[in-house]
């Protein structure tokens, strides 16, 4: 299995010749030319995690791809056929097994509504919590997609989260809100927290891959 980072919160997972797309949003360069896509996971309804343009481009070449997301995504993306998933569910879309965790987006501010959000564990190896610090209890996480910067976090919270998950490997996501200097700082903090737990950090840039 291989993960390839795209900009911001989006990444691709390849396994046995098939591809899973996660959170193709507005801060990610339009995904054109993808083939063999069997599934798309959208963790929540915010536009930096999905757009109609992204979904249309993927579905044009992969009309059989299934789209998974919480109820809030189904409501926001009603022009698409969204399969609503809930925390605790496991879905099979061969060759991927998807297990979902959590339920709510992290609080940004008391004036901003808290929306549905689900973390996803892919093939019992790669975990990504969307816009939350949901810890997959009872799961030994091989690889963690760790948030680097967002209106809903501070870096100390990210470090505590990474320490609690204690992954064998981590790489940064959700970084497009950061300057180059800010990204360098957040990577260093995520690396420190990962290595303190005995894991290894991979500062993937868009287009770079990691074999899992």
Computed over every residue of the chain, the mean pLDDT equals: 98
Average pLDDT over residues 81-101: 98
Structure tokens that stand for 99 in this block? 């297990």
Parallel, antiparallel or unpaired: strands 96-104 and 11-15: unpaired
Q: Give the domain ranges of the chain.
A: 2-211
Residue whose entry in the numeric block shows the structure tokens 């970084």: 175
| Pair 41, 21: CB distance under 8 Å | yes
pLDDT value of position 129: 98
Q: Identify the pLDDT of residue 109.
A: 97
| Mean per-residue pLDDT, 104-118 | 97
- pTM (global) more than 0.95: yes
Nearest to 95 by CA among 122, 75, 69, 119: 122
Q: How many CB atoms lie within 10 A of CB 139?
A: 14
Residue 203 in 3-state DSSP? coil
Q: What is the mean pLDDT of residues 160-181?
A: 98
By CB atoms closer than 10 A (0-12, 13-18, 19+), residue 137 is exposed
**pLDDT of 76:** 98
Report phi then psi at 89, rounded to 5: -80, 150
Q: Which residue has the tokens 């193709």?
A: 24
Phi, psi of 119, deg, nearest 5: -80, 160
Cα(113)–Cα(67) distance, rounded to whole angstroms? 24
List, for residues 142-151, the tens digit of each pLDDT value.
Answer: 999 999 999 9
Peptide bond into 150 cis (omega under 30): no
Average pLDDT over residues 186-209: 98
Measured CA to CA, the distance from residue 114 to residue 152 in angstroms comes to 11
Average pLDDT rounded to a whole number, residues 86-98? 98
- The fraction of the chain above a pLDDT of 90, given in percent, is 100
What is 2-211's CATH number, 3.40.50.10260, 3.40.50.1970, 3.60.15.10, 3.40.50.10420? 3.60.15.10
**Tens digit of each residue's pLDDT (9 = 90 or more) over 45-78:** 999 999 999 999 999 999 999 999 999 999 999 9
Backbone angles phi, psi at 92, to 5 degrees: -105, 125
- What's the pLDDT at 164? 98
Q: b/e per residue, 84-93, with b = 16+ CB within 10 A?
A: ebebeeebeb
């Amino acid at each position: 299995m291989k993960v390839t980072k795209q900009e911001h919160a989006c990444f691709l997972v390849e396994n046995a010749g098939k591809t899973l797309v996660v959170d193709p949003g507005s801060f990610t360069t339009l995904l054109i030319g993808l083939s063999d896509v069997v599934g798309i996971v959208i963790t929540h309804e915010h536009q930096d995690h999905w757009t109609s343009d992204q979904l249309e481009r993927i579905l044009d070449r992969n009309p059989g791809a299934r789209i998974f997301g919480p109820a809030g995504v189904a409501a926001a993306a009603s022009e698409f056929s969204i399969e609503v998933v809930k925390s605790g569910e496991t879905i099979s879309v061969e060759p991927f097994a998807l297990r979902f965790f959590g339920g709510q987006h992290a609080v940004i501010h008391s004036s901003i509504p808290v929306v549905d959000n689900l973390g996803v564990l892919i093939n019992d190896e790669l975990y990504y919590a969307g816009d939350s610090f949901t810890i997959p209890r009872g799961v030994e996480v091989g690889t963690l997609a760790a948030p680097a910067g967002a209106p809903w976090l501070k870096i100390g919270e990210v470090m505590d989260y990474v320490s609690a998950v204690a992954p064998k490997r981590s790489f940064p996501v959700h970084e497009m809100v950061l300057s180059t200097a800010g990204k360098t700082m957040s990577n260093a903090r995520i690396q420190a927290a990962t290595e303190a737990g005995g894991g290894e950090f991979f500062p993937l840039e868009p287009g770079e891959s990691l074999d899992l």
